[in-house]
Structure 1
Amino acid sequence: MVVEAVFDVVADAAPEIRDGLPKRRAKAATENVSGDVQLEADVWADDLLFEQFADLDGVNWYASEERDDLDVVGDADDGYAVAVDPLDGSSNVKSNNPCGTVVGVYDEQLPSSGRSLVAAGFVLYGPTTTMVVARDDDVTEYLVGEDGRTNLGPVELPADPVVYGFGGRVPDWTADFEGFVRDVEDDLKLRYGGAMIADVNQVLTYGGVFGYPGLQSRPEGKLRAHFESMPIAFVVEQAGGASSDGSQSLLDVEPDSLHERVPTFVGNQSVLDDLEAALPD
């Protein structure tokens, strides 16, 4: 099955990506289409994944945060689109903090709504390398190594929220969002490490909320809908949680362009209900 084969590719590539990071901590002489300075590791991981997915039957489009345009790699009349953030949190490589790879599998050509996702997942390069995959209403965690992946069992968001983490500079937060955060921090513990996927994994493990809000200087926020926001929303919602752009599920977002950004929040439903109540319509 194509979807299963997608995550076989990701699992097979993960040890090579992790092993290649120590040699690729320097900045590349390029920026991606969103204006982010690329690391050598960003470009290398993207090229590695592209080569693998281009050879996979049933994957007809490849999209990456590191590429300007959608690449046609198969019969463009049918099949799946794979959207990746090859190295989420790559700025953490220099400081030896966690980073990851994010994957969304869409059954439509991009740009497309989050409702066209049929599977999503991520690899976390932490003290161990793990992969979380959401598909068919199940979320499963795997331990990933040179000899393959080991099923660690189902993932379910804990009912009681414990941790929170929000991106963006505090002076750039809107007054409404800052007011919401002040209420949250009375009850939850701050956990924020600068790599979205590491912070999301903490929410999946302990319960709580992660988000990158719309800012005064950037109302659309920082995270890209196709490559980050909608795939993690798919994972968290299938694990029993919720997602929001401030007013609706991230899966209901309909981007007009491949690299469109969107305010992003995932976590326990109760916390996101309070978020949506605090933000203006």
Structure 2
Amino acid sequence: MQSATFYQLVNFRPKLQTFQSKTPTLFSTRRMASVSGFRRMALDGSSSSSSTVASDDGFVTLMEYMGKGGGIGVNDDLVVLIDHLQYACKRIAALVASPFNHSIGKQTSLGDFPNTGSDRDAPKPLDILSNEIILSSLQKSGKVVVMASEENDTPTWISGDGPYVVVTDPLDGSRNIDASIPTGTIFGIYKRLEELEDLPTEEKALLNSLQSGNRLIAAAYVLYSSATILCITFGSGTHAFTLDRSTGDFILTNPSIKIPPRGQIYSVNDARYFDWPEGLRQYIDTVRQGKGRYPKKYSARYICSLVADLHRTLLYGGVAMNPRDHLRLVYEANPLSFIVEQAGGRGSDGKSRILSLQPVKLHQRLPLFLGSLEDMEELESYGDIHQKVNPGYEV
């Protein structure tokens, strides 16, 4: 039996309402946004572009951004869904930062939750809690037909009339959480496949979850670090919103992110250098010495948190990679590749564009390389960059 603490944390609600400070805050207190057609706006009703829309105090929230048509196909249903997802991520952010996660992290009984990976990737209590928080939010949204999660063996059928499919890694990097290393949530959103309606529910759920990445209509990651940052794309650019903890709003801080065409950083576990194929070793040796196509010496930066390593790469350029068959195509590679491509970069398995791949299994694994276009082109030119030897790992 799981302890009462576990169930208390599942139902944990962060306090996100505005509070009065004795000193001036960075952001002025926001007035409550009105709700019209499920689009929460506190704007003057003008038709200015999504990149320049601002409320009375000069800041744009995620809900305001979407309410003013912040992306292709951002309709009322999608606004409602994103509203529930961003609320779930606020709850996870509060949970990750809570002093109680230390005690819950020591629990070992996970009930009937499956282990979908190796012992290193076995579900942790906080993974399960995050999974439950996201599932609950999706159920309440009324907009999702099925959720596929890294934490579940099979997809979860939610509603017979939901228009969307959500795939998610609820808490990436959780095995390092005791050391306060950044963690993250990843999710992708697809339209429901109407042509599958006559199939049995289990088959419909699986096939809806195995759509190729080029069918994504939205994808996002949320970074839980010194700031909580939600980086999202609706297929018309990549934008980052930072959580203002005084109001509970995600504020637009990085509109229309453009990853530099070339960076000077590579992110990979260098301890596996002698397990790498010759092509990957040659590439790393070359750029470290400043003998590549870019005549500067590259630096290694590796957090061992996929969302954190990608976020830095997105802002500064370079390459973030895991060259072995480890990361999941459905939950990690597809959503993150969509985000990177919308910022002008590339996502690849070392040979092919990630978004062109057709998933054949729900928990299918593959190598993943994400980054600046010129860096990715140079890396792929070395050919043999897939790590085939995996000592100490189970795949």
Question: Shared topology, TM-score over 0.5?
Answer: yes
- The one of 103, 124, 139 aligned to 1:39: 124
Instruction: Describe the SS at the equivalent of 2:209.
Output: coil
Instruction: Describe the SS at the equivalent of 1:263.
Output: strand
**Deviation of residue 7 (structure 1)?**
2.6
**Cα root mean square deviation, aligned:** 1.9
Q: 4+ residue stretches of structure 1 with deviation over 3 A?
A: 27-31
Q: Does 1:171 align with 2:256?
A: no
Q: Distance in 1 between matches of 2:288 and 2:160?
A: 50
| Corresponding residue number in structure 2 for 1:218 | none
Distance 1:184 1:29, change over 3 A: farther
**Deviation of residue 84 (structure 1)?**
0.8
Q: Distance in 1 between matches of 2:82 and 2:272?
A: 35
Q: Does 1:225 align with 2:345?
A: no
Q: Does 1:89 align with 2:164?
A: no
Q: What amino acid does structure 2 have at the position aligned with 1:212?
A: N
% identical equivalent positions: 28
Is the contact between residue 280 and residue 384 of structure 2 (CA under 8 Å) also seen in structure 1? no
Is the contact between residue 140 and residue 151 of structure 1 (CA under 8 Å) also seen in structure 2? yes
**Deviation of residue 246 (structure 1)?**
1.0
| Corresponding residue number in structure 1 for 2:249 | 148
1:1-281 → structure 2 map (5 Å cutoff): 1-21=76-96, 22-25=99-102, 26-27=105-106, 28-30=108-110, 32-35=115-118, 36-75=121-160, 79-107=163-191, 108=193, 109-146=208-245, 147-154=248-255, 155-167=257-269, 169-186=272-289, 187-214=297-324, 221-280=325-384
Instruction: Describe the SS at the equivalent of 1:106.
Output: strand
Instruction: Describe the SS at the equivalent of 1:121.
Output: strand
Instruction: Describe the SS at the equivalent of 2:252.
Output: strand
1:115-156 superposed Cα distances (whole Å, 9 cap, x missing partner): 111110111011111100011312111012452211113111
Name structure 2 gaps, 5 residues minimum.
1-75, 194-207, 290-296, 386-395
Q: Distance in 2 between matches of 1:139 and 1:164?
A: 21
Is the contact between residue 163 and residue 202 of structure 1 (CA under 8 Å) also seen in structure 2? no
Q: What amino acid does structure 2 have at the position aligned with 1:175?
A: E
Q: Distance in 1 between matches of 2:101 and 2:319?
A: 32
Instruction: Describe the SS at the equivalent of 1:213.
Output: strand
More strand per residue? 1
Instruction: Describe the SS at the equivalent of 1:222.
Output: strand
Count of paired positions: 274
Q: What amino acid does structure 2 have at the position aligned with 1:102?
A: I
Q: Distance in 1 between matches of 2:240 and 2:134?
A: 21
More deviation, 171-180/85-94:
171-180
Is the contact between residue 81 and residue 143 of structure 2 (CA under 8 Å) also seen in structure 1? no
Q: Distance in 1 between matches of 2:302 and 2:317?
A: 14
**TM-score normalised over the length of structure 2:** 0.66
Is the contact between residue 2 and residue 59 of structure 1 (CA under 8 Å) also seen in structure 2? no
Structure label with greater radius of gyration: 2
Q: Distance in 2 between matches of 1:153 and 1:205?
A: 10
More deviation, 104-113/20-29:
20-29
Is the contact between residue 121 and residue 133 of structure 1 (CA under 8 Å) also seen in structure 2? yes
**Deviation of residue 158 (structure 1)?**
1.9
Q: Distance in 2 between matches of 1:184 and 1:5?
A: 45
